[in-house]
Amino acid sequence: MITSSRFHPYYNKNHKTIDTTTLTPTSSNIKLHFGVEIECVFELIDVFTSYIFLIDFYTQFNDYSSDITNEHIDIQSNLNNAINKFIELINDDEDENDISQNQIYNDLLDIYQDNKNYNDYFLEKLDLITSHHSQFLLDFKEFLNILISIIINKINLIDDIDDKNEYRKIIKTLLIGSGDFFDLFINFSKRFDLTHSKIKIFEPTNFSDFYNSNPSSYLDNIHLLLLSDLSVNCDDKIIYKNIVFSDVLHYKYLLNNCEFLTQVFKTTSELKTTLTTFFDDPIIKNYLFNCSNTSQHIHISFNIDDNNIQPDIYIILAIVFICHHFQNDIFKLFLITRSDNSFCKKLNFNINDYADFTDNYNDNLKLIMKMFFNDNDRYYWLNLVNLYSIDKYPNYIRPYTIEFRIKHGSSDPNELYNVSKLYENIINYAILLSSFIQKTNNIISFHQAISNHIILNNPDYIFHNIILKDIDYYFTDPSSDYVKGLNNLNSILTTSSIYGGKSKIKSSKSLSDIIHKFHNKPIFKINSFGFQFIGYGLDSFIIEKIIDNFKDNIKITSNDVKKYLQSYNIYI
């Protein structure tokens, strides 16, 4: 369980939460702030990394002795033995189609079969390398990626923990001695050197510095927190860069589970300017990819005089009504893979006989969730869960935010800017509606009043001139580069059947008992604003991942599960 002392160091002190019961928010005094979660994947082993690996592996890290651990020395002290082990692994693998055409593999296989030494071969190749784009390096990159894939598969198939650790040592070597293979931050930082970049990435253990750091100018710097996300896994998937340039390729050797959190932006223009710095960085531009499982979630807070507020329940209700009314048209603005995705489901309007508000904010929020969301999970394209007050834990100070989850992944800051404008337009329209439509305690009556207003004023006009104010051409005109790219990418993805989904897995008794213990516990994750409440108990997707990870462990404890979840930004 997270204690209040653990919350406070990570909490964004620039966002103070105040009681709004004495305030009457209007469109003129509410300011919106934006935080972005950028889900993406990276090329696991690139050409530059292959070159560095080859040099380091051959010289046994002589130039980097301070970074060597005993495990690295064990593997790298004998190049012949290490390569032999790699070849044996490949020969044991049932599917050699990926590597049978690789020249490096065939060369090493010949040496292996002749029981010769590999040193002369690599020394000769080192002398021949004059460019990072030489054919040898391209082949060597592929060779390393295939080896990693084979070893990971091997680790997943064996039960003995000592055997697993032996193979993990090889993984560490292949990843340039970067420590635990499952440590996303270390692996990323070792292989993608941002030392001289305008991007500053904070370690996951350094939340406090991240939230309290303020770049001297958003024009020159971007501060990011790199965390893992279980849902971002793109092996064997079509990947692409962005929508406008919708070139795709099949590539399965990827660094998965990557999620970058931005700091808080006070305007959409600030968001665009800063993220341009990020996406224009050579490393990010060259190696960042997206697929059907990547997305960009935007969290929005409501603020008065720079204080975070829990917005008026009628503003929230109006946002929900607008999103529900126009959601079919809004979904058409995004990749088709978002329309049938378990992580950004559409809202539903479920007529309820008892639909009257009370004086309790949480009860009213629950009523909205019951009528439009079916359940209280966060996997809808509009997520309200972080608006709940957690009365049982009053010391858990956190900013209230709503989250939009519909956007597909992309490396285009202009696209993110226009999507943020879409969300801003929806909220501003909701604030306007809630200010002049007569409020009633009955949700259905209030819903009907808003519906009548929309119908009376022409839904098509409202959609194109209010919801898409200033961005209509970008999202709807056939001559727009975005629209042309979206249509092209949709036609490719439609034939690929790569939509998100969840499967059902039954847990063992011991795991079931542990998971059940968390049933009534509040669950949190980190976002750009601080800690985000995501509900009580573990959802089905997370439970599935826990079961899959611990299925071979008969001595599982609650702390083991908590540690695993924290490595993927889930806190109990």
Instruction: Report the pLDDT value the prediction gives residue 502, as an integer from 0 to 100.
Output: 44
Residue 162 amino acid letter: D
Contacts by 131-134, CB closer than 8 A, 24 or more apart: 132/47, 132/48, 132/51, 133/47
In angstroms, rounded to a whole number, what is the distance separating the alpha carbons of residues 378 and 232? 16
Contacts of 271 (CB under 8 A, 6+ apart): 34, 36, 262, 265, 416, 417, 420
In angstroms, rounded to a whole number, what is the distance separating the alpha carbons of residues 405 and 526? 15
Instruction: Report the pLDDT value the prediction gives residue 176, as an integer from 0 to 100.
Output: 58
Confidence band, pLDDT 50/70/90 cuts, at residue 217: low
Is the pLDDT at 375 greater than 90? The verdict is no
Q: What residues does 532 pair with on adjacent strands? A: 525
Confidence band, pLDDT 50/70/90 cuts, at residue 332: very high
Q: Is there a contact between 35 and 224 (Cβ–Cβ < 8 Å)?
A: no
Assigned token pair, 288: 């960042």
Is the pLDDT at 216 greater than 90? The verdict is no
Neighbours of 478 (CB within 10 A): 7
* Between 392 and 399, the higher pLDDT residue: 399
Lowest mean pLDDT among 272-281, 365-374, 389-398, 482-491: 389-398
Lowest mean pLDDT among 19-33, 46-60, 105-119: 19-33
pLDDT digit string (tens) for 116-146?
777 778 777 777 776 666 788 888 888 888 8
Provide the whole-model pTM. 0.85
Is the pLDDT at 15 greater than 70? The verdict is no
Instruction: Report the pLDDT value the prediction gives residue 37, as an integer from 0 to 100.
Output: 97
pLDDT digit string (tens) for 540-561?
888 888 888 887 666 788 888 8
Is the pLDDT at 179 greater than 70? The verdict is no
Q: What percentage of the chain exceeds 90 in pLDDT?
A: 33
Instruction: Report the pLDDT value the prediction gives residue 151, as an integer from 0 to 100.
Output: 79
Assigned token pair, 532: 């985000």
Residue 296 belongs to what H/E stretch? Answer: strand 296-304
In angstroms, rounded to a whole number, what is the distance separating the alpha carbons of residues 341 and 105? 39
Is the pLDDT at 278 greater than 90? The verdict is yes
**Closest residue by Cα to residue 151 from 198, 88, 65:** 88
Instruction: Report the pLDDT value the prediction gives residue 417, as an integer from 0 to 100.
Output: 98
Instruction: Report the pLDDT value the prediction gives residue 182, as an integer from 0 to 100.
Output: 57
Torsion angle (degrees, nearest 10) of CA 155, 158, 159, 162: -60
> Residue 445, SS3?
helix
Average pLDDT over residues 221-249: 89
> Residue 299, SS3?
strand
Average pLDDT over residues 420-437: 94
Instruction: Report the pLDDT value the prediction gives residue 12, as an integer from 0 to 100.
Output: 45
Average pLDDT over residues 18-34: 60
Instruction: Report the pLDDT value the prediction gives residue 28, as an integer from 0 to 100.
Output: 59
Instruction: Report the pLDDT value the prediction gives residue 242, as an integer from 0 to 100.
Output: 94
Q: Is there a contact between 403 and 378 (Cβ–Cβ < 8 Å)?
A: yes
* Between 78 and 112, the higher pLDDT residue: 112
Average pLDDT over residues 510-537: 87
Instruction: Report the pLDDT value the prediction gives residue 101, as an integer from 0 to 100.
Output: 78
Q: What percentage of the chain exceeds 70 in pLDDT?
A: 80
In angstroms, rounded to a whole number, what is the distance separating the alpha carbons of residues 476 and 482? 9
For 48, list phi and psi in degrees, rounded to 5: -60, -45
Average pLDDT over residues 443-464: 91
Instruction: Report the pLDDT value the prediction gives residue 25, as an integer from 0 to 100.
Output: 42
Is the pLDDT at 311 greater than 90? The verdict is yes
DSSP 8-state secondary structure symbol assigned to residue 96: -
Confidence band, pLDDT 50/70/90 cuts, at residue 7: very low
Q: What residues does 17 pair with on adjacent strands? A: 308
Instruction: Report the pLDDT value the prediction gives residue 246, as an integer from 0 to 100.
Output: 85
In angstroms, rounded to a whole number, what is the distance separating the alpha carbons of residues 478 and 487? 9
Please state, rounded to an integer, the average pLDDT across all residues of the chain.
81
Assigned token pair, 222: 């971007």
Contacts of 14 (CB under 8 A, 6+ apart): 211, 264, 306
Instruction: Report the pLDDT value the prediction gives residue 331, as an integer from 0 to 100.
Output: 97
* Between 77 and 79, the higher pLDDT residue: 79
DSSP 8-state secondary structure symbol assigned to residue 229: -
Is the pLDDT at 157 greater than 80? The verdict is no
Instruction: Report the pLDDT value the prediction gives residue 95, as an integer from 0 to 100.
Output: 55
Instruction: Report the pLDDT value the prediction gives residue 23, as an integer from 0 to 100.
Output: 35
Is the pLDDT at 266 greater than 90? The verdict is yes
Instruction: Report the pLDDT value the prediction gives residue 149, as an integer from 0 to 100.
Output: 79
For 182, list phi and psi in degrees, rounded to 5: -90, 0
Instruction: Report the pLDDT value the prediction gives residue 18, as an integer from 0 to 100.
Output: 40
Average pLDDT over residues 83-107: 72
| Number of residues that this document lists for the chain | 572
